[in-house]
Amino acid sequence: MPVKVSKICCIGAGYVGGPTCAVIALKCPHITVTIVDLNQSRVDAWNSPDFSLPIYEPGLVDVVREARGRNLFFSTDVDKGIEEADLIFVSVNTPTKKSGVGAGFAADLNYVELATRRIATVANSSKIVVEKSTVPCRTAESMRTILEANSKPNCRFDILSNPEFLAEGTAISDLFNPDRVLIGSLETKEGEEACRSLVEVYANWVPQERILSVGLWSSELSKLAANAMLAQRISSINALSAICEATGANIDEVAHAIGYDSRIGPKFLKASVGFGGSCFQKDILNLVYLSESLHLPEVAAYWRQVVEMNEYQKRRFSKRVVDTLFNTITGKRIAVLGFAFKADTGDTRESAAITLIKDFQCERALVNIYDPQVEEAQIWNDLSEASPLIPIESIKKQVTICHSAIEACKNAEAVVIATEWKEFLEIDWEEVYKGMNKPAFVFDGRLLVDAEKLTKIGFKVTTIGRPSAAA
Ligand code: UDX
Ligand code: UDX
Ligand code: ADP
């Protein structure tokens, strides 16, 4: 008989574990959900009386407000969380390795391993262990080996893979109404029973036909594959945007036209200055590493090209800025609007803005940055990580963080839109124009603003995937 889950523990209170398990708690009031993390300040933020949560996600506060203290708890007592639960989500970070074998490509599984070992050491009863973090194919196998080698008598561990497909900024609506929930299990009687236990949890709010049960390895690979295919769509449309700029075609029209083919579909076809976020690049590099380890160099090269195209897109954009500003931006002030990797998030991981700003710094421009959501300390942190050899004091001489778009654009030669924040649509562009040096340039890296309207005001507008006005 499948175990009826009544207590869930989630190890890792980050971007994935926090919202996912908060929503499970909200939708399953009969299940006690405890989210544990080693990071005291993160847990304190989750528990803060004024709900200043450690991550910004629309709707998340309402979920936490309703469930916290009822059947949702945040704690640093990892062992107690493990001991009491019948089902444990492992939702720790799996960053790209910075050193050793596979550096720059492979996922660092150290955190997954430490969490798994902790489960084996602490558990006094059988547990269903669910891998939630995105991991390379066959990680569940390693987890199983560790658990079995270290378990106490009478403790069974069943391993499931249940990758998370939420996107940042829409996490809560994605969790409330997922396209699908994917659960991978071993194709044994015990594996299938464990799978049914987790299906029952999701069935509290997700229609049965959207809960897919597959094999463990298919589940692990599907997560990498979904992100790789999504990123590939963006690199494909961005590659086409370069052709548009050179020929006079308009990338928005092209995307619209091809999206009408029901086999292609209209979503995720927005040309941009390049994709960012914690997942796409990491997961593709993981797939590249996996392919190479499996002696499939052609497959590795195919996927690697998606990331290379993305790097090319960012470089191409900053070169276009320099070319348009009469081949030099030395000493010129550039306003960068947006620093997050996309709108509606404060997350900056792999944000294209970081690369652009670094390029502008190398050209010795002065850069003003404004983002409505990203913390100032985060921007300094990202910029100094991007240029490890340059002391932060020198960076601060070149870069200024501003508190509004208008302030950032004051006395600038050019405005660069790097994130598609809605508020940039509502800027008083006439006011911006008055404050800028002339000619005043706008570079729209997100197909956001109305180029015709801005041109009428007097701006010289350059848009991704459209030929330059001068061409
Ligand atoms: C992604 C996947 O969408 C999600 O399913 C997975 O669980 C985690 O990775 P996320 O990284 O939060 O989610 O953001 P997403 O909305 O997918 O955007 C990724 C990047 O692609 C952003 O920089 C975004 O601006 C860019 N993008 C997206 C485009 O440039 N054009 C598009 O049409 C769509
Ligand atoms: C294609 C386009 O579909 C059509 O819109 C365009 O006008 C002409 O080119 P066609 O070449 O007739 O049409 O065949 P299509 O059904 O697209 O298949 C092309 C090839 O892809 C075939 O060899 C098919 O077997 C293969 N294919 C298609 C796959 O291997 N897998 C699939 O999922 C789909
Ligand atoms: P993700 O985007 O995958 O959710 P995050 O970095 O936002 O990644 O969150 C992962 C969280 O997991 C971090 O808050 C980290 O402190 C926590 N963590 C990592 N290892 C452990 C562990 N062994 N026990 C408890 N928490 C852990």
Structural domain includes residue 382: yes
The mean pLDDT value for 398-405 works out to 98
Last residue of a domain, one of 206, 227, 242: 206
Last residue of a domain, one of 162, 184, 206: 206
| Residues 378/382/388/393 CA torsion (nearest 10 deg) | -50
Structural domain includes residue 407: yes
Assembly ipTM = 0.94
The closest-lying atom of ligand 1 relative to the alpha carbon of residue 165 is 7
Looking at the fold, whether 15 and 152 belong to one and the same domain comes out as: yes
- Alpha carbon separation from 157 to 29, 31, 141, 184 (Å, rounded): 25, 20, 12, 15
Looking at the fold, whether 194 and 315 belong to one and the same domain comes out as: no
Structural domain includes residue 189: yes
The closest-lying atom of ligand 1 relative to the alpha carbon of residue 270 is 33
Looking at the fold, whether 48 and 183 belong to one and the same domain comes out as: yes
The mean pLDDT value for 261-281 works out to 97
Is position 144 annotated in a ligand binding site? no
Given ligand 1 and candidates 57, 164, 230, which is best to mutate, with the most ligand atoms within 8 Å of its CB?
Answer: 230
Looking at the fold, whether 54 and 167 belong to one and the same domain comes out as: yes
Does residue 392 carry a pLDDT above 80? yes
Structural domain includes residue 224: no
Distance 228 CA to ligand 2 centre (A): 22
Distance 262 CA to ligand 2 centre (A): 13
Structural domain includes residue 95: yes
Q: Where residue 133 falls among pLDDT bands split at 50, 70, 90?
A: confident
Structural domain includes residue 239: no
Written as one string, the DSSP assignment of 215-266 is EHHHHHHHHHHHHHHHHHHHHHHHHHHHHHHHHS--HHHHHHHHHTSTTT-S
Structural domain includes residue 190: yes
- Alpha carbon separation from 212 to 125, 163, 185, 202, 382 (Å, rounded): 28, 12, 11, 11, 38
Is position 282 annotated in a ligand binding site? yes
**Residue 30 DSSP class:** T
Q: Where residue 471 falls among pLDDT bands split at 50, 70, 90?
A: very low
Cis peptide before 439 (omega within 30 of 0): yes
Last residue of a domain, one of 187, 206, 225: 206
The mean pLDDT value for 341-361 works out to 95
pLDDT by residue (tens digit) across 58-115? 999 999 999 999 999 999 999 999 999 999 999 998 888 888 888 887 778 899 999 9
Query: Can you give the pLDDT at residue 176?
Result: 98
Q: Which CATH number goes with the domain that contains 343? A: 3.40.50.720
Domain span including residue 87: 7-206
Count of domains for the chain: 2
Structural domain includes residue 443: yes
The mean pLDDT value for 176-194 works out to 96
